[in-house]
Amino acid sequence: MSAELSADIVVIGAGIVGALAAQRLARQGASVLILEAGPRLERARVVAAFRNSPFKGNWMAPYPPSPWAPHPIYVPQDNGYLKQAGPYPYPAEYIRAVGGTTWHWAAQAWRLVPNDVRIKSLYGVGVDWPLSYEELDPWYQEAEELLGVAGADNTGSPRQHPFPMAPVAEPWSMRRVRERLAPAYPVVANTVARNSRGYDGRPACVGNNSCQPICPVNAQYLGINAVEAAEAAGAKVIPNAVVYRIEHDVKGHIAAVHYYAPDKSEHRVTGTTFILAANGVESPKLLLLSASDTYPNGLANRSGMVGRHLMDHPSTSLTFYADEELWLGRGPQSPSSINTLRDGAFRSQHAPYRLDFTNISQVLNVTNDLIKEGVYGAEFEKQLRWRAARQINVKNVLEVLPNPDNRITLSAEKDAMGIPKPEAHYAIDDYTRRAAEVSKADFARIAELMGGTGLRYSADGQFANNQHITGTMSMGNDPATSVVDAFGRTHDHENLFVCSTGVMPTAATMNSTLTGVALALRTAEHILPAKNSHAATAHVGHETSLA
């Protein structure tokens, strides 16, 4: 065993959530150590790997898993890392690397709508959050200013202060969709961590349309930007440090974490406060792995709720040809959506949803379709041009309710380091399925308004997954039914906090990253209050004083 490392704050996981908590704590003068299981990546290599890859549609292709810190891969075949216990598959994708999964996200940086945190009280379903939307608001603002969020005001999420940036320029395709769906459906710019102008030293989006797998110009905020911010604030990152055990003392305080280097040498890191930020799958896995005689069910698991209430956003969709040329593929991949169905009295009956339009270039999909159909030669070229110009897709983003049976457990199977793999137990209930059925009418109406032909609905009962892992370490006031308190502190261990989308008690209808970051900043403030006032209300000044 090598010399022990130690820090005031030890963060497990160098993704966007953990790194932004780390940067805030480091800025307050704490010594911060971030342990990351995966390797350090460079944007240029990812860009080069993407451009050089023949599998442009496979967004995991530029992110091969490392042998010591594997992550799930499904193309060309399942690498068997995330075991599936059923009954419904949960094919989550995530990246174990410095910077985490937001290396390849669409930068959707949504707030909840206020009623999302009170669905038990208002609609009799799910659970209420232990905090209000109003309490979250300043933390959202701080998160938005760190990430550089551009957005429109009319998405159902109220705010006290303006967005850091105006929305990103609307692509032609989305303009036409907006114009043609009005007034039946208001189509608005998505709330995104993507620059509509130069911000914080990063350039504006130039529309490469490769947000996933990689923004090649750093216009989209990635976890690696958060890591760099943490490092600039004084935090230290150790890559390739696979944490396999969290160690507690006789009083139940966390004393240390243990990690393997790729050569399987063992290392122990001590600290005062520990933050678990290794996403909604790997974090509960680690808590369960750390079972001891005192805590036979794993750490922070007196309630038995660690790993339970696994949620995400299933989607069904409709693909069709519009009656005009839209030419998807110019600008960002996911620029616009319909947000009027995120809340309503119907939530007592079925899930709410957002309706999201893709703006991903259709050339690859259409080419594959045509080859499958056996179309060649001049007709191929003609069809390719016609279809690629007109094909469009709309999907729903459905809420899933917390269900203790949907869960992450430890598999009997082990990875190359001898660590048990995570296993997903998942089902999609009728509350969500009813919403999918209801949304078909929206799909049909949208197609009608766009003069749609060649309508192709996703197969009945088939849901695509959106990789918004939530719920597995839910926050709540009652230690009997939740894992962490309203500030992310585990009920069972005073110096162990969780910063993750996994602490969200419900999934709502929006991508979970911004809420995860806002909650993590709030946790950081709780651990070590900012010296000068409330940082979330002190606006970060990016303007120059030069007149």
Choose between 118 and 197: whose C-beta lies nearer to other proteins: 197
> Which amino acid makes up residue 546?
L
Contact residues for 123 (Cβ-Cβ < 8 A; gap 6+): 345, 347, 348
Choose between 47 and 181: whose C-beta lies nearer to other proteins: 47
Instruction: Check 71, 309, 468, 493 and give the catalytic one.
Output: 468
Interacting residue with other proteins among 216, 223, 329, 332 (CB under 8 A): 216
Interacting residue with other proteins among 43, 118, 161, 236 (CB under 8 A): 43
| CA pseudo-torsion sign 508, 513, 515, 520 | positive
Residue 167 · residue 152 · CB < 8 Å: yes
What string of DSSP letters covers 362-394? -HHHHHHHHHHHT--HHHHHHHHHHHHHHEEEE
Pattern of binders to other proteins over 189-208, x per CB under 8 A?
------x-xxx-xxxx-x-x
Interacting residue with other proteins among 48, 125, 233, 375 (CB under 8 A): 48
Residue 67 interacts with other proteins (CB under 8 A): yes or no: no
Distance CA 259, CA 267 (A): 5
Can you read off the two tokens belonging to residue 42?
A: 């460079």
259 forms beta bridges with 243, 267
Residue 99 interacts with other proteins (CB under 8 A): yes or no: no
Cβ of residue 206: shortest distance to other proteins, in angstroms? 6
Residue 517 · residue 17 · CB < 8 Å: yes
Residues 1-30 within binding reach of other proteins (CB under 8 A): none
Backbone torsion region of residue 309, taken as left when φ is above 0, otherwise alpha when ψ lies between -120 and 50, otherwise beta = left
Q: Is 468 a catalytic residue?
A: yes
Pairing status of strand 83-87 against strand 420-426? parallel
Residue 542 · residue 24 · CB < 8 Å: no
**Coil, helix or strand at residue 169:** coil
Interacting residue with other proteins among 2, 52, 77, 532 (CB under 8 A): 52
Q: Segment contacting other proteins (CB under 8 A): 29-37, 210-218, 301-309, 324-332?
A: 210-218
Residue 353 interacts with other proteins (CB under 8 A): yes or no: no
> Which amino acid makes up residue 457?
Y
Per-residue CA distances from 439 to 36, 349, 457 (Å) = 40, 13, 11
Contact residues for 155 (Cβ-Cβ < 8 A; gap 6+): 110, 188, 191, 339
Q: What are phi and psi of 441, to 5 degrees?
A: -65, -40
Choose between 59 and 185: whose C-beta lies nearer to other proteins: 59
Residue 532 interacts with other proteins (CB under 8 A): yes or no: no
Choose between 198 and 451: whose C-beta lies nearer to other proteins: 198
Pairing status of strand 266-276 against strand 496-498? parallel
Choose between 51 and 414: whose C-beta lies nearer to other proteins: 51
Interacting residue with other proteins among 31, 58, 84, 218 (CB under 8 A): 218
Q: Segment contacting other proteins (CB under 8 A): 93-101, 214-222, 281-289, 519-527?
A: 214-222
Choose between 208 and 270: whose C-beta lies nearer to other proteins: 208
Q: Segment contacting other proteins (CB under 8 A): 40-48, 344-352, 397-405, 416-424?
A: 40-48
Number of chain residues interacting with other proteins (CB under 8 A): 27
Angle formed at CA 324 by CA 322 and CA 330, multiple of 5 degrees = 90
Cβ of residue 199: shortest distance to other proteins, in angstroms? 6
Residue 489 interacts with other proteins (CB under 8 A): yes or no: no
Interacting residue with other proteins among 2, 532, 533, 544 (CB under 8 A): 544
Distance CA 151, CA 196 (A): 9
Q: Segment contacting other proteins (CB under 8 A): 42-50, 67-75, 350-358, 366-374?
A: 42-50
Q: Segment contacting other proteins (CB under 8 A): 133-141, 238-246, 436-444, 538-546?
A: 538-546
What string of DSSP letters covers 272-314? EEEEE-SHHHHHHHHHHHT--SS-TT-TT-TTS-TTBS-B---
Q: Segment contacting other proteins (CB under 8 A): 212-220, 236-244, 257-265, 352-360?
A: 212-220
Choose between 127 and 219: whose C-beta lies nearer to other proteins: 219
Choose between 76 and 374: whose C-beta lies nearer to other proteins: 76
Choose between 214 and 408: whose C-beta lies nearer to other proteins: 214
Cβ of residue 112: shortest distance to other proteins, in angstroms? 29
Residue 364 interacts with other proteins (CB under 8 A): yes or no: no
Q: What are phi and psi of 442, to 5 degrees?
A: -65, -45
- What are the residues binding other proteins (CB under 8 A)? 42-45, 47-49, 51-52, 195, 197-199, 201-204, 206, 208, 216-218, 543-547
Residues with a catalytic annotation lie at 468
